[in-house]
Amino acid sequence: MDLPLWRRRAVGRLDAAEAAGDSMMLSLALHNLLDGIGERAATRFAVVMPDGRRFDVGTGAPVFTLRFHTEAALFATASRGHMGLMQAYFDQELDVEGDFGAALAAGMAAGVDQQAGALNSIENGLHELRHFNRDPVQAKANARVHYGLGTGFYRPWLDDPLMMSTCGYWPEGTRNLEEAQRHKIDHVCRKILLKPEDRFIDIGCGFGGFMFRAQEKIGATGMGLNTTTEQVEWLRDEIERRGLEASLQVREADFRDVDEQYDKVVSIGTLEHAGRDQLPEVIRAHAQFLKPGGLGIVHFIGHIGRFETELFIRKHVFPGGWIPSLADVIVEMERSGLEVLDIENLRRHYAPTLDAWALRFEAHWPAIQALDPQRFDERFRRIWRTYLIGCAEMFRSPAGYTHVFQIVFSKGNVTPQGYPMGREHLYGPER
């Protein structure tokens, strides 16, 4: 039965009052979150609410402005912190005007990503249950989400022609991304004393940049191991096009699928894809690929200390991925009979690499989108620019705990004749 008019009006007033109260509580929670960012990050910014109200955080001209378009975006931010804020941005319910990198850096400086709360922790755990890499079939599917996007997507913004999607090496005087990636490969070759007579395996070889450079400059022969079908098919065709079938091959297989032993093992940007619980077996596989007395290098993103891997990265960029701690990697190398010869931290080198990627990605976005407008839509663009620019700020941060390491190792203890006693081969005039 319909309520009398006076009761409907009374209920309407109560609903409006309740809604106003909820809005006030939401606004207060959001204000506390944003004020905390401004205070801890010492950053000036502005917030524009869906109804047009504007709030300034800090004093002076704002470096960036968060413009909320919906109440749902406000609720997501208040309830889930940085994940809610990013999700609203991906869904175009929020825009970031001004310096996008400064906005991401402010959140990191304020430690918002470390105040994730229960909902984000629960989702991270559920993600692991759905995407864990223990099963090679799932590990392959996870890798293809990121690396199976095709050369048409990657070529415009990676270095040309090597297309390396890992941290470059930027010693003083490096002029561009292409030089940085060549420097990185040459640096790795010097570290493992790669010689023309050596046969190497490149675990997770990507588009074959290391393989082509090592063969061209040194004359070494090698095998690439890759679980991403799209990259393997392209690389096989490229090896054939260059007439290098006698020197280079590529095999589509899981990183744990050991077929034989090699003089040198190269692993650049693969370890992060082992997964949360697969680090021991993946390191063991690296050891099994190496001949006794041989040399290898593992280049990976690692934490200083044990931390959860950021949910945003696992959910939107690298499903199933897991960033291990440096300590855990070293322990597993010791257990697998590997001697650690050298550890270098390249954290500072990743920020300029990501800066270059982000600039090229933005500049070439119209061409990328034209490849497949449904796949490469606005949501995709926002996710990837957050990934590229956000990671640049993460590696640039002086307070960050995520670093990039290169560990040189041998299978068994090396002799003075097996590896130089000094570092002239790396940095001296003879290099």
Query: For position 99, what pLDDT does the model report?
Result: 95
List, for residues 341-353, the tens digit of each pLDDT value.
Answer: 999 999 999 999 9
Residue whose token pair is 């825009």:
95
Q: Is the pLDDT of residue 385 over 90?
A: yes
- pTM value is 0.90
In a domain, 120, yes or no: no
Domain residues for the domain of 55 are 5-115
In a domain, 79, yes or no: yes
In a domain, 125, yes or no: no
Task: Cite the DSSP H helix spans in 301-377.
Answer: 311-316, 326-335, 347-363, 365-371
Same domain for 343 and 307:
yes
Q: Is the pLDDT of residue 161 over 60?
A: yes
List, for residues 1-46, the tens digit of each pLDDT value.
Answer: 454 443 344 334 334 444 444 455 556 666 666 766 766 667 888 9
* 164 and 354 Cβ atoms separated by less than 8 Å: no
* Residue 423, token pair as written in the block: 């570092």
Residue 374, helix vs strand vs coil: coil
pLDDT band of residue 427 (cuts 50, 70, 90) is confident
In a domain, 249, yes or no: yes
Same domain for 401 and 277:
yes
Task: Provide the CATH number for the domain around residue 96.
Answer: 3.30.1050
pLDDT band of residue 425 (cuts 50, 70, 90) is confident
Q: Is the pLDDT of residue 249 over 90?
A: yes
Same domain for 154 and 97:
no
Same domain for 163 and 80:
no
Mean pLDDT, range 77-84, rounded to an integer:
85
In a domain, 356, yes or no: yes
Same domain for 149 and 185:
yes
Q: Is the pLDDT of residue 101 over 90?
A: yes
pLDDT band of residue 70 (cuts 50, 70, 90) is very high
Long-range contacts (CB closer than 8 Å, 24 or more residues apart) made by 29-38 = 29/78, 30/74, 30/77, 30/78, 31/55, 33/77, 33/78, 33/81, 33/112, 34/66, 36/110, 36/112, 37/106, 37/107, 37/110, 37/112, 38/106
Same domain for 179 and 108:
no
In a domain, 268, yes or no: yes
In a domain, 95, yes or no: yes
Residue that finishes a domain, picked among 81, 115, 149? 115
**Average pLDDT, whole number, for the chain?**
89
Same domain for 270 and 403:
yes
Structurally, the chain folds into a number of domains equal to 2
Query: For position 32, what pLDDT does the model report?
Result: 67
In a domain, 226, yes or no: yes
Mean pLDDT, range 263-276, rounded to an integer:
93
Same domain for 147 and 264:
yes
Same domain for 401 and 263:
yes
Query: For position 6, what pLDDT does the model report?
Result: 39
Task: Provide the CATH number for the domain around residue 282.
Answer: 3.40.50.150
